[in-house]
Every structure is written in C-alpha cells, then in structure tokens.
C-alpha cells in the first residue's frame, strides 16, 4: 500500500517511502538540512543508510543527535546552535517523540529572540513568535505513539523547574510527513507496547474531551479501532507490516484528534516523566484505567456509543475490561509504584504540577488538587474507583 494524504498536512504513507526523502527536501527547497534524531538511533544501520543517501545529495548535510529520552530545553538550545553554525535551512526530524519534538523545536527556535519558555501553550503566547523565521520541517516517525509528526507543539522539560512544558505554534506542524512501516519493524515489543498505548491514550482522551468537534471525534474513534485491531499483532509479531502501518496511522490520527483536548491521563503523566524520567507512553498506560473510572459518570454514555463499532459489549465495564486485558497482554504494570519508588514521590508537588498541566482544563470532570492526589494514590495502590 502506498498513498498520499493531505490532512492535517502532507503525509506520504507506505512501505519504502523513506526513499522519497530527497524529493521531500526538494519540494520544500531545503538545501542544507539538519538531520535530527536521538542518540539511541544515530548508530543503527537503518539510520546510517538514510544519512548515506542524504550525503550523496546534500554536500552540506548536518547531523544532531544530542537528545534525551525525555528532552530538555538544553537539547533544543544545542540543536539551534548546530543549525545556526552550519547555516541550515530546514530540519529532518527522525525518530520517536523525542527526536520529533526536538527537531520541530529547533526549526521553530532558530529564528526567535525570546526564550523557548515564552512560547508555552498558554493563551496567545504563540503570537510572540516571528513566524517568518520558522524553518520547514520533514517529520519521519520510527515509533507509533506520540503522533508528534501531525502536531503543532513540542513537549520539552524545563530542568530548572522540573516541569514538562508544551511549546506551541501552528507553523511547527511539519510540512511533509513520511509514514514508512519498514522504519518501525525493529521496534522492541516493550517500546511497541508503550508507544502504542500512548497513541491509544491520545485517541481516547480526545474522544472523551468535552466540546463539539465531530471531526476530531470521528478520527479518534477510528484510531481506537485501528489500535484494537493491530497493537497486539505488532507486539507479538514485529514484522507484521499491515499492523505496523495501522499503528502508524493511528498514532498520527491521535495527535490530529487531540486538538480537541486531552485530559488527566496526560496531566498525571507529565510530572512523572519530568521528575523520574519514565517513558511517557508507559505512564499513560498505567494511569489510563484510573482516569477512565474516575471520569466514568461523564464519559459512560459516549463510551457505550462506540462499543458496537469496537466489537465490545455495549457497556462501560466491557470497554474498561478490554483496556485492562490489553495492558496485561502487553506486560504493562498495573501500578505506578511498580515503576517509581513511592517513597520518592512527593504527592503534594506532583498533584500541583498535574493540576497546572495544560491537559487538565479539557478533562471531562473539573479537577482539584485533591482529585489529582487521590488519583496518584489509587495508581500507587492499584485500586480502581
């Protein structure tokens, strides 16, 4: 299967589409690209082959890979320095969420005079930017999770405050996305599970977020269906190209849908990611059933409406049971305390950070700091509401 989509941006889908990366650069008039990826990917043969092809076509190719698993502001600053030093004119963001988020942030920040933290996703802060100085971006995901390739934001940790910030501007949506399932074939079962659950959390929270946005709802429902059909297949057989393709699509769909909003799954996750460097998809997977049951009274009718389409019995409990069984088959821990020492968690601090997270306002139920603390406590004990 090879196809092109044009929503929400230009997306080239199919096996072997990575071979069209040179053409993507030409389409965007990129002559001096900065190839951005993370330090775990840079030495893989797959990446070496891609870089080799790029070097044959671009004499002035630059490479940046100094990126943490949960990227920090300093990673972006270092990348911006590399971009400026080599007079680059575009970014190829390659990898999982960290590589994509940092690549997008570099393309955005290289022409700005303010600190990156001045562009947090609050009100109209994005209008502070010089949008004419944002470099073109090509995004190539190697995991099916964050959906950063179809997003208008980057998640970056401020080391001084220990808080993960969402940096937003409409024009950091990549101009061309390449979804090639061949690039995900070597993803480990562990990362397939965590990133897949990240995509599921995006689609579920977008669908459950309040407000009228039928386009986002429709995309989210289909994203959930694709994940139900394909995540377990990709987990057990990483070479299943159809499953890998459907997971890539579902991840991009989740990010497209959550322009409607996210919720408390993400609010709880971001502080844990920032404070304890735990994989974002893993924490989303852990918090998922606790938040679903907490929000039950406000989302139950919506969940029941889609159960038929998901081939589930038409009740909330059936949907929840699917989530719990899915996590178990993917070897996802049931409790937060299975991945973070509960004695090291300052629940008052974490709860305050979660309440102030930009995902909180679109949770179906209005949240208080006490609600956040109770959710953390339940996720530590393993008790559902």
> What global pTM score does this model have?
0.95
CATH number of 187-381: 1.20.1090.10
Q: Measure the CA–CA gap between 378 and 371, rounded to whole angstroms.
A: 11
Please list the residue range(s) of the chain that carry CATH number 1.20.1090.10. 187-381
Q: What is the CA radius of gyration of the chain?
A: 20
The 10 Å Cβ neighbour count of residue 196 is 28
Please determine, for residue 1, whether its predicted confidence score (pLDDT) is greater than 90: no
pLDDT of residue 68: 83
> What is the average per-residue pLDDT within 245-250?
98
Q: Measure the CA–CA gap between 64 and 105, rounded to whole angstroms.
A: 13
Question: What architecture is domain 2-183?
Answer: 3-Layer(aba) Sandwich (3.40)
The 10 Å Cβ neighbour count of residue 211 is 9
**Does residue 283 contact residue 268 with C-beta atoms inside 8 Å?**
yes
**Does residue 99 contact residue 40 with C-beta atoms inside 8 Å?**
no
Please determine, for residue 187, whether its predicted confidence score (pLDDT) is greater than 90: yes
Kind of pairing between the strands at 153-158 and 62-64: unpaired
Dihedral sign for Cα atoms in the order 333, 216, 15, 178? negative
Using DSSP's 3-state secondary structure scheme, residue 44 falls into coil
pLDDT of residue 69: 85
pLDDT band at 65 (very low <50, low <70, confident <90, very high): very high
Structure tokens at 75: 């990673």
Percentage of the chain beyond pLDDT 70 is: 100
Greatest pairwise CA separation for the chain in angstroms: 59
Dihedral sign for Cα atoms in the order 324, 329, 330, 335? positive
pLDDT of residue 183: 97
The secondary structure element, H or E, covering residue 33 is strand 33-36
How many residues does this entry show for the chain? 385
Please determine, for residue 82, whether its predicted confidence score (pLDDT) is greater than 90: yes
Structure tokens at 101: 């988020």
Dihedral sign for Cα atoms in the order 154, 159, 160, 162? positive
Please determine, for residue 226, whether its predicted confidence score (pLDDT) is greater than 90: yes
Q: Measure the CA–CA gap between 6 and 176, rounded to whole angstroms.
A: 9
Q: Measure the CA–CA gap between 90 and 137, rounded to whole angstroms.
A: 6
pLDDT of residue 22: 97
Closest alpha carbon to 262 in 93, 382, 146: 146
The secondary structure element, H or E, covering residue 252 is helix 241-257
pLDDT of residue 373: 98
Residue 119: phi and psi, rounded to 5, are -115, 25
Phi-psi region of 382 (alpha: psi -120 to 50; beta: other; left: phi over 0): left
Q: What are the residues whose beta carbons fall under 8 Å from the beta carbon of 82, sequence distance 6 or more? A: 34, 62, 64, 88, 106
Dihedral sign for Cα atoms in the order 365, 231, 198, 134? negative
Q: What are the residues whose beta carbons fall under 8 Å from the beta carbon of 177, sequence distance 6 or more? A: 9, 10, 11, 12, 138, 139, 140, 141, 149, 150, 252
Please list the residue range(s) of the chain that carry CATH number 3.40.50.1970. 2-183
pLDDT tens per residue across span 280-337: 999 999 999 999 999 999 999 999 999 999 999 999 999 999 999 999 999 999 999 9
**Does residue 86 contact residue 34 with C-beta atoms inside 8 Å?**
yes
């Amino acid at each position: 299967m090879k196809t092109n989509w044009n929503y929400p941006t230009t997306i080239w889908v199919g096996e072997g589409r990575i071979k069209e990366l040179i053409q993507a650069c030409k389409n965007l008039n990129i002559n001096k690209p900065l190839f951005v990826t993370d330090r775990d990917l840079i030495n893989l043969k797959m990446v070496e082959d891609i870089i080799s092809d790029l070097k044959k076509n671009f004499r002035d190719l630059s490479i940046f890979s100094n990126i943490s698993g949960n990227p920090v502001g300093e990673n972006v600053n270092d990348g911006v320095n590399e971009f400026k030093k080599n007079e680059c004119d575009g970014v190829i963001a390659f990898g999982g969420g960290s590589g994509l988020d940092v690549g997008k942030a570099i393309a955005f920040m290289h022409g700005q005079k303010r600190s990156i933290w001045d562009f947090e996703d609050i009100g109209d802060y994005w209008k502070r930017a010089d949008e004419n100085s944002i470099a073109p971006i090509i995004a190539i995901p190697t995991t099916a999770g964050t959906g950063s390739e179809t997003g208008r934001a980057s998640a970056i940790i401020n080391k001084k405050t220990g808080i993960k910030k969402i940096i937003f501007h409409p024009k950091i949506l990549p101009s061309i996305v390449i979804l090639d399932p061949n690039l995900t074939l070597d993803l480990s079962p562990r990362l397939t599970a965590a990133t897949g659950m990240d995509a599921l959390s995006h689609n579920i929270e977008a669908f459950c977020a309040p407000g009228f946005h039928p386009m986002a709802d429709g995309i989210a429902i289909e994203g959930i269906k694709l994940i139900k059909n394909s995540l377990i297949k990709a987990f057990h057989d990483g070479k299943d190209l159809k499953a890998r393709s459907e997971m890539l699509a579902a991840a991009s769909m989740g990010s497209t849908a959550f322009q409607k909003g996210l919720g408390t799954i993400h609010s709880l996750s971001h502080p844990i990611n920032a404070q304890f460097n735990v994989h974002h998809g893993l924490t989303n997977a852990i918090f998922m059933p606790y938040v679903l049951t907490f929000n039950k009274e406000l989302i139950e009718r919506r969940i029941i409406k889609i159960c038929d389409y998901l081939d589930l019995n038409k009740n909330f409990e059936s949907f929840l049971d699917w989530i719990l069984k899915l996590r178990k088959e993917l070897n996802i821990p049931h409790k937060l305390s299975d991945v973070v020492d509960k004695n090291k968690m300052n629940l008052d601090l974490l709860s305050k950070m979660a309440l102030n997270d930009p995902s909180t306002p679109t949770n179906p139920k209005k949240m208080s700091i006490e609600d956040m603390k109770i959710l953390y406590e339940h996720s530590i004990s393993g008790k559902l509401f």
